[in-house]
Amino acid sequence: MIDLSTTYGGLNLKTPLIVSSSGLTSSVERIIKMEQAGAGAVVLKSLFEEQINYEVSSMSAESDYPEAADYVNAYARENSLEDYLSMIREAKAAVGIPVIASINCVKSNEWVDFAKKMEQAGADALELNIYFLPIEKDKDSRVYENAYLDLVSDVKKHTSLPLMIKLGHGFTNITWMVNQLYLRGASSIILFNRLYAPDIDTSDLSFTSSEVLSSPADMRFPLRWVGIVSSRVSEIDLAASTGVHSGLAVVKQILAGATSVQVCSVLYRNGIDYLRDMINELKGWMQKNNYSTPSEFRGKMNYNNLKDPTVYERAQFIKYFSKMH
């Protein structure tokens, strides 16, 4: 009998498929459908610091009384937070799977207070979606790295919620970064965040967004690092994110060492019920290969368990192209 249950940062999941933070998870009705289709957990749409700051500045600009700015700012922030807390409470009342709150942080220390309130609202865990764009030529990279570490340490001191850290891939040493986050209390790491990327419209010389949704080919980068990091920082759970578009993609990431995967783009393309297809494909592969649980093959092909682990290190195409001639 196939048992798809797994663990993720201290949470018990019925399946390793987690619906990642997006517009899809901003509706309780859709979250109910996700549970019915087989999602092991959901990450609520992120509460964005930038969005709150924008709303605050917009409301302040409309006021003719500068002395009222502090009141307006406080109202806008609390209103955004209360809407989010209500979403947590409603989702928790509607489903039995873990509901993970998500904060998109840039620099504000207010997230410590927000995290405490999200815990009180009933969130099962907190995903910190952190990103600092390193553009200053006079700032050492360690300044940016320490900003991540300090933020996680601060939040950890003020909440007992499991902390899931969603990382971008722009670090000199990803393995070191994951280990440092683990030492500061992170319960799991998501590799990797799919960040906004600009594009240029040459017809009118304006900026636009590049492709928002991922493709199956995008899985190759997180696959490499899940395979490496899971063998180097085995104490922490890893979730693979970006490019997971099929049940076999789930298999690959678990083989590399992930305990769970986050899915999003494929559900935008195929609908929430496509989770059932992914789960059936995962089960089919497990039955064919005589596995009863994901833990039986997790990490079977990570860096430590390969005869030639350099396949994870290889960055050039020399060997591949040499076979074509």
pLDDT score, position 80: 76
Q: How many domains are there within the chain?
A: 1
Q: Domain range spanning residue 220? A: 6-322
**Within-domain flag for 251:** yes
Q: Do you find a cis peptide bond into 207, omega within 30 degrees of 0?
A: no
Task: CATH number of the domain at 147, please.
Answer: 3.20.20.70
Tell me, what's the pLDDT at 75?
Answer: 41
Residue 207 lies in a domain: yes
Question: Strand runs (DSSP E) across 62-137, as ranges?
Answer: 99-105, 125-130
Tokens read off for 114: 């927000």
The CA-atom distances, in angstroms, between 246 and each of 33, 79, 250, 291, 310 are: 19, 39, 7, 18, 26
Q: For 211-223, what is each residue's pLDDT tens digit?
A: 889 999 999 999 9
Q: Residue 318's pLDDT band (boundaries 50, 70, 90)?
A: low
Is residue 1 one of the residues assigned to a domain? no
pLDDT in tens, 26-80: 999 999 999 999 999 999 999 976 555 544 455 444 444 444 444 445 444 556 7
Q: What is the C-alpha end-to-end distance of the chain, expressed in Å?
A: 47
